[in-house]
């Protein structure tokens, strides 16, 4: 049976929106504070990204005005435009920052597994637990991104390509599936996640680990093979 990564390895990842931009220790006093301009700029940018996710998760992207974002961040509109050209750039920054962290942890879990099938399970578990633990980012990256401009949605396509490769080029000795089948499987996994997040039930995502792992393994190993591998790993479809 595979070893699960420590819970802290997942829980300690701070995705955009995981903290309030107005937490006392994140504010910078007006006037003389002795901080370098670069430090102030980085602080403002981080707060704006967190505020963006917070506002979009609560109100939806169409209603996430610059005024709401800057109010949640505790900065001026001028500060927003010092860092971002518009809401689209802020969305793209938040999405890429968060998904890069998720992909890195998912890949770490997959590569640390003893076998390819255990890697699929580890990757699925990591993905679902990270989204469950960060419901604001889950809402923004899975649901609200559908309302985002095309430039942001293209980032989602790129982030899904790694999961697609698990099916089209799994490992030596395991035959991949056609691109269309891989796209259908990735789309099915995404849809299952979407339904939970859209219903406000992101916390339930880890319950899907076994069934979605089975779904991924099914076109590669067949019904009996997928069920056998899950059983070997102490899981049931």
Q: Which of 95, 98, 102, 94 is nearest to 9 (CA)?
A: 102
- First-to-last C-alpha distance (Å) of the chain: 16
SS3 13: coil
Residue 45 has pLDDT above 80, yes or no: yes
**pTM score:** 0.88
- The percent of the chain in helix, strand and coil, each rounded to the nearest 5, is 75, 0, 25
Average pLDDT over residues 41-59: 94
5 burial (CB, 10 Å; 0-12 / 13-18 / 19+) is middle
Contacts 24+ apart (CB under 8 A), 127-130: 127/102, 128/193, 128/205, 128/206, 128/208, 128/209, 128/212, 129/10, 129/205, 129/206, 130/10, 130/13, 130/15, 130/102, 130/105
Give the tens place of pLDDT for each residue, 125-149: 999 999 999 999 999 999 999 999 9
- pLDDT band of residue 28 (cuts 50, 70, 90) is low
CATH topology of domain 100-232: Tetracycline Repressor; domain 2 (1.10.357)
- Percentage of residues of the chain with pLDDT beyond 70: 89
CA separation for the pair 236, 227 (Å, rounded): 7
- pLDDT band of residue 4 (cuts 50, 70, 90) is low
What's 171's DSSP letter? B
């Amino acid at each position: 049976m595979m070893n699960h990564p420590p819970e802290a390895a997942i829980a300690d990842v701070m995705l955009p929106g995981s903290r309030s931009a107005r937490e006392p220790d994140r504010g910078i006093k007006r006037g003389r504070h002795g901080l370098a301009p670069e430090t102030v700029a980085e602080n403002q940018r981080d707060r704006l990204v967190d505020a963006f996710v917070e506002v979009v998760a609560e109100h939806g992207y169409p209603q996430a005005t610059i005024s709401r974002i800057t109010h949640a961040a505790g900065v001026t509109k001028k500060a927003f435009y010092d860092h971002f050209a518009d809401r689209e750039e802020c969305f793209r920054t938040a999405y890429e920052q968060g998904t890069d962290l998720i992909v890195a942890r998912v890949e770490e879990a997959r590569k640390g597994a003893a076998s390819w099938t255990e890697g699929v399970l580890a990757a699925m578990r990591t993905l679902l637990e990270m989204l469950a633990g960060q419901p604001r980012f889950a809402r923004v990256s899975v649901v609200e991104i559908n309302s985002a401009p095309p430039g942001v949605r293209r980032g989602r396509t790129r982030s899904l390509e790694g999961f697609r490769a698990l099916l089209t080029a799994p490992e030596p000795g395991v035959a991949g599936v056609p691109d269309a089948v891989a796209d259908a499987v990735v789309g099915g996994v995404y849809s299952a996640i979407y339904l939970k997040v859209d219903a406000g039930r992101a916390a339930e995502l880890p319950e899907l680990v076994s069934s979605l792992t089975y779904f991924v393994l099914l076109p590669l190993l067949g019904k009996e093979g997928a069920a056998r591998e899950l059983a070997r790993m102490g899981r049931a479809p």
